[in-house]
Amino acid sequence: MYLGEKQEKMLSGDRGGAVKKSMEILVGLGDIFGAERLIPIGSAHVSGISMRTSGEAGLNFIEEMVDRGGRVSVPTTINPAGIDLENWRDMGAPKGMSEKQIRMVNAYKELGAEPTCSCVPYLTGNKPSFGEHISWSESSAIVYGNSVLGARTNREGAPSALASAITGLTPEYGYHLKENRRGDIEVIPDTDLFGDGGTFPFSVLGYWIGEQFPESVPVVRNVNPTPPQHKALGAGMAASGAVALYHIPGVTPEVKKDPKVGETGEEIFFGVEEHEQVVDRLDQTSDYDLICVGCPHASVDELRSLSKRTGDREIWACIPRRLRDKLEGTEVFSNLRKSKVKLVCDTCMVVAPLSEMGYDSIAVNSTKAAHYAPSLAGVKVHLASLEEMME
């Protein structure tokens, strides 16, 4: 790989230990994937924040990066933590883990990252423009950034996204190159499935696509999703498969600009039967202690539909703290309070220690949550649409 003079110096340690280690990661990856050079990025988004996923190992690595003088050089946001950083005591999160979690977020603050603690960076001020190169981890955000915003990122892991945040660089290969961004399979869904305007059928469709074509760039026909529906579609694909990008002809920006990107020649149908197969496989129980929405983190539009709910089952809406702060004092906020919807910030049902907090089972309307919550949060899952859960 070719490195400029300044980059050679960064690699040899002239700008400190954290930059050197970061350059070693990026050059190592670039060599493996045949990148010719490192290119500048506009922003970074780093996953692996929750102590539930990164553990002591992640905490020690991040604190060592701080000790080595690490500092981000581009706008950087971070993924959800394992606890609501302000209300963890009231919510019954374990003390030892919570204290370490706070140390982890503080270490990221010292590195100069914005402590957004959310998986939807594009809703918390980190919104890249069309064609911009970025280095993001968090699989659902990667798909949204590539597909809906037309930015360019590979499926980075937590350490490589952090290395890019510190250096402002990423190796140029994979989805940074136009030739790798063309669709290669066309999915024709039965449009009757999407009648009610909710996110659920999109989440199921995404999960099915990721399972069937885990390494693909799918082209989805005949749909025009709302932003929350896009979010659900991409999160599903990236949970069951390694999908980083999809196109919707006439809708997503890259294929709008160049319709050839969406021509693949191979078509496959998604109907009621496929939909039911996915739900049957992920749905483990009809009994549940808690309803959780917001995987990925919910937006204002999704909160509006919750604010009208009746019934008194415990319900969490997992959202970015910045969204909560913005909503405080509005009508939506007071309606949510009246409807007894608990706004849970900084964390979510996948990365919080739910089993240790006394929950056995949860109901979710997200295939991604249904995929990960049993192993990560230690709970059983009921998977259904929001409407069905509210009945």
- Sites of contact with another protein (CB under 8 A): 21, 24-25, 28-29, 31-32, 47-48, 53-58, 60-61, 137, 156-160, 375
Q: Give the residue with the Cβ less far from another protein, 144 or 194.
A: 144
What residues contact residue 254 under an 8 Å CB cut-off, 6+ apart?
Answer: 147, 150, 181, 247, 261
Return d(Cα 214, Cα 237) in angstroms, integer: 8
What is the Cβ-side half-sphere exposure of residue 205, based on CA atoms within 13 angstroms? 33
Sheet containing 218-220: order of strands: 218-220, 185-189, 267-270
Q: Could you tell me the smallest distance in angstroms from the CB atom of residue 58 to another protein? A: 4
Q: Give the residue with the Cβ less far from another protein, 113 or 389.
A: 113
Q: Could you tell me the smallest distance in angstroms from the CB atom of residue 292 to another protein? A: 21
Q: Could you tell me the smallest distance in angstroms from the CB atom of residue 26 to another protein? A: 9
Q: Could you tell me the smallest distance in angstroms from the CB atom of residue 124 to another protein? A: 22
Q: Give the residue with the Cβ less far from another protein, 303 or 369.
A: 369
How many other β-carbons are positioned within 10 Å of the β-carbon of residue 5? 7
Q: Give the residue with the Cβ less far from another protein, 21 or 275.
A: 21
Q: Could you tell me the smallest distance in angstroms from the CB atom of residue 13 to another protein? A: 14
Q: Could you tell me the smallest distance in angstroms from the CB atom of residue 372 to another protein? A: 10
Q: Give the residue with the Cβ less far from another protein, 60 or 277.
A: 60
Q: Could you tell me the smallest distance in angstroms from the CB atom of residue 160 to another protein? A: 6
Give the burial string for 291-329 (b: 16+ CB within 10 Å, else e): bbbbbbbbbeebbebbbebeeeeebbbbbbbbbbeebee
Contact 375, 147 (CB under 8 A): no
**Dihedral (CA of 213, 154, 24, 165) sign:** negative
Q: Give the residue with the Cβ less far from another protein, 31 or 328.
A: 31
Pick from 163, 128, 136: which is nearest to 38 by CA?
Answer: 163
| Residue 90: exposure state from Cβ atoms within 10 A (0-12, 13-18, ≥19) | exposed
Q: Give the residue with the Cβ less far from another protein, 53 or 307.
A: 53
Contact 322, 118 (CB under 8 A): yes
Contact 135, 157 (CB under 8 A): no
Q: Give the residue with the Cβ less far from another protein, 58 or 225.
A: 58
The 3-state DSSP class for residue 135 equals strand
Q: Could you tell me the smallest distance in angstroms from the CB atom of residue 24 to another protein? A: 5
Q: Where are the beta strands (DSSP E) in the chain?
A: 38-40, 44-46, 76-78, 135-136, 169-171, 185-189, 218-220, 267-270, 290-293, 315-319, 341-345, 361-364, 380-383
Q: Could you tell me the smallest distance in angstroms from the CB atom of residue 215 to another protein? A: 12
Q: Give the residue with the Cβ less far from another protein, 17 or 131.
A: 17
